[in-house]
Amino acid sequence: MLAGAALRKTSEGWEFASEAALEDFIWNNLQQLLGFTPLERQYAAKGEFCDILALNESKQLVILELKNAEDRYVIQQLTRYYDNLLDEQPFTQQIDYGQPVKLIAAAPSFHRHNLIDCKYNLLKIDLLQIQVLKDNQKFQLCLQDINTNQTWSIPIPYEELSFSSTSQNTPEIPQLLLDWLGACSAEKQQAILKLREKILTFDERIKEEIEGRNTIRYGKGKSKPVAEICYQRTSHKPIVFLWLSTPTSCWFGQKEVIGRLRLWIDGETVTDIGHVPEGFGRMRLQIEWDAMPREKRPKNMFHSGSYKSFTPVPIPQGYNNVSNTLESLADLALTKWLARI
């Protein structure tokens, strides 16, 4: 199954939302796209970081440098990486250093200086032009060698967003959130956008704050949050958190404790919840644990309603007397938030 991607619409067409999103997609689909075996990404050699190191069928080292915009100095970068890696010679068990190193620069366009640098460089460097193509509602990544015209392509699992349900009174959707939502189904996109609209129109004291590149928080400052939407790079999708009654305090007769709950969402339905005080936690659905090789699973799988559990808790009918839709749980979180203000 292909990994998803974060895209962005521009006046000229479509592009990856960031260089990190481009690197994520190519790294996760490198074998399907170019037939290379991935070795390591952001490999540090003499203080410089190579985007992707890979291996081809002939055991040649492949150094791949990616740019999400035109860059004048990509040829010099690759030249330095080549020299550094030949000095260090990592992955000697996999790589045949008796063969030439394959150098590749991939970018949406190449400056004329890149062409001059290649012309007089003693090393052979392949220049691959990156294009994100849209045909009807299907997206595709296309790489084309600008010298030979050879092409490689692969589908991009991306769903174009529709804003038909958003209110004019709601602040403009941050570009960061738009970048994340493309990897979600249309149903889940609308559910998250409705959640955002509901939260921001509930009380004027609730603000939308962006923290770094992976977190959008909703609430009254850091001390009074009601929700978070966080981008998880491993799944390439946004994850929703609401401040609700923790499972242990809700179902086991203890005093109510409001905590940061991660929601597992299927369309508009919330199937499971887990108390995750910070980050993404270690919880996975049981089906995800079962799909992992046994040697990669924790030896002692702890299951409970607490934050220490390795699995979330399925939502039974009548959780806090509301249905298990994202909208209903958002209403509940807002009611709890108002009581804390």
Contacting residues for 163 by C-beta, under 8 A, at least 6 apart: 173, 193
Contacting residues for 294 by C-beta, under 8 A, at least 6 apart: none
CB atoms near residue 242 (< 10 Å): 27
Q: What percent of the chain has pLDDT over 90?
A: 65
**Which pLDDT band, with edges at 50, 70 and 90, does 166 fall under?**
low
What's the token pair of residue 281? 């936690």
Q: Would the pTM count as exceeding 0.85? A: no
Instruction: Answer yes or no: are the C-beta atoms of 113 and 76 closer than 8 Å.
Output: no
Mean pLDDT of the chain: 90
What's the average model confidence in pLDDT over 121-146? 95
What's the average model confidence in pLDDT over 147-167? 80
**Which pLDDT band, with edges at 50, 70 and 90, does 253 fall under?**
low
Q: What is the pLDDT of residue 1?
A: 47
pLDDT per residue over 23-35, tens digit each?
Answer: 989 999 999 999 9
What's the average model confidence in pLDDT over 203-231? 93
Kindly state the helix (H) or strand (E) to which residue 86 belongs, with its residue range. Answer: helix 74-88
